[in-house]
């Protein structure tokens, strides 16, 4: 096989490789593709939870929904100064980019003004790339954000399209895809992934992997469900580590060269499990505080990445168009 031309395995191959007796083959094939197709530089980003809680949506996994009693932090827009401080701290820690994350389905016009002001100040204050996760956005909103310096947009599809309606009824994957397509038209990089461990079958895991392949994002964040008391998924249980590793391997074989990024749930893993995830395809991370759960430690994941033969990007001059 010429890996430079490798476009990924088929759905049928993916399902066959998920059979228990083929686990070792699955992981070794994923490792081979990782070695041949993935850039050997480990990318780190950080996020700032810039508005928390009081979300109108009914996502069953999310502590920030106003429909569930979870005790999550609730506060409004944190302000430009706080965003700038977070950007400087992320730069000092060696992150490649910083992402502004806000709760809620979409931004108001005033919210867009606030985020644009923060982006401009962050661009001036820190030598770091800028990302944001802001819910559903219109093309006009996206255009303003791009002019303010935003380079990458994060918008997860969360899970397989066939499973999503069972987990959220207040918005659809189609609405998410409309935001992603509009962002692509404007030249944004796209970060799009989801959450493993929400009850997906083998077929739905493969469906999720191929839905991401169709989107062709620049980064795939891989969250592992951390069940939170008060949410409808509180009794789901944490995904078995072997299933986590196999799921990462499938994502890698379907998306051969796209960075797969440790995200939520990384702190629930042992370093041994994390190292195996890197072996089969993880090649990026989110370090530092997340939204409603603790994030990974920069130093821990740096060490694992270096041990696996990756170099660390560090910061670089942000590029805006």
Token pair listed for 21: 């007796």
Q: Which tens digit of pLDDT belongs to each residue from 148-157?
A: 999 999 999 9
How much is the pTM?
0.93
Phi, psi of 282 (to 5 degrees): -65, 135
| pLDDT above 90 coverage of the chain, percent | 83
SS3 category, 151: coil
Q: Which tens digit of pLDDT belongs to each residue from 167-212?
A: 999 999 999 999 999 999 999 999 999 999 999 999 999 999 999 9
Cβ-contact 9, 253 below 8 angstroms: yes
For residue 316, is pLDDT > 60? no
Distances (CA, A) of 43 to 36, 95, 166, 314, 319: 17, 8, 33, 8, 16
What is the Cα–Cα distance from 67 to 131, expressed in whole angstroms? 28
String of b and e for 82-105 (b: at least 16 CB within 10 Å)?
A: ebbbbbbebbeebbbbbbbbbbbe
The reported pLDDT for the residue numbered 315 is 35
Q: Choose among 105, 58, 54: nearest CA to 232.
A: 58
Annotation: CATH topology of 7-312: TIM Barrel (3.20.20)
For the chain, how many residues are written?
Answer: 321
Token pair listed for 228: 């939170």
Q: What is the mean pLDDT of the chain?
A: 92
Q: Which residue has the tokens 């995200």?
A: 263
Token pair listed for 77: 């827009």
The reported pLDDT for the residue numbered 321 is 31
Cβ-contact 285, 277 below 8 angstroms: no
- What are the boundaries of each domain within the chain? 7-312
For residue 297, is pLDDT > 80? no
Half-sphere exposure of 130 (CA within 13 A, CB side): 30
């Amino acid at each position: 096989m010429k890996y430079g031309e490798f476009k990924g395995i088929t759905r049928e191959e993916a399902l066959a490789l998920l059979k228990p007796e083929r686990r070792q083959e699955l992981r070794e094939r994923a490792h081979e593709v990782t070695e041949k197709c993935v850039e050997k530089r480990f990318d780190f980003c950080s996020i700032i939870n810039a508005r928390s809680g009081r979300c109108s949506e009914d996502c069953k996994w999310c502590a920030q929904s106003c429909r569930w009693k979870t005790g999550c932090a609730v506060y409004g827009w944190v302000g430009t100064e706080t965003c700038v401080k977070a950007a400087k701290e992320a730069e000092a820690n060696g992150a490649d980019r910083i992402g502004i994350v806000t709760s809620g389905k979409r931004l108001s016009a005033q919210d867009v003004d606030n985020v644009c002001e923060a982006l401009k100040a962050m661009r001036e204050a820190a030598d770091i790339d800028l990302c944001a996760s802001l819910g559903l956005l219109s093309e006009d909103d996206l255009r303003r954000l791009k002019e303010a310096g935003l380079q990458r947009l994060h918008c997860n599809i969360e899970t397989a399209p066939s499973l999503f309606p069972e987990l959220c009824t207040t918005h659809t994957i189609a609405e998410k895809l409309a935001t992603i397509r509009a962002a692509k038209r404007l030249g944004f990089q796209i970060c799009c992934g989801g959450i493993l461990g929400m009850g997906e079958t083998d077929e739905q895991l493969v469906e999720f992997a191929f839905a991401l392949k169709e989107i062709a994002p620049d980064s795939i964040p891989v969250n592992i469900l951390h069940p939170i008391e008060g949410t409808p998924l509180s009794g789901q249980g944490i995904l078995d580590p072997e299933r986590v590793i196999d799921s990462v391997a499938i994502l890698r074989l379907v998306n051969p060269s796209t960075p797969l990024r440790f995200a939520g749930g990384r702190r629930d893993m042992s370093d041994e499990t994390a190292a195996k995830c890197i072996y089969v395809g993880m090649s990026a991370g989110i370090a530092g505080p997340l939204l409603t759960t603790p994030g990974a430690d920069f130093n821990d994941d740096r060490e694992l990445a270096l041990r696996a033969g990756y170099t660390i990007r560090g910061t670089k001059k942000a590029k805006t168009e």
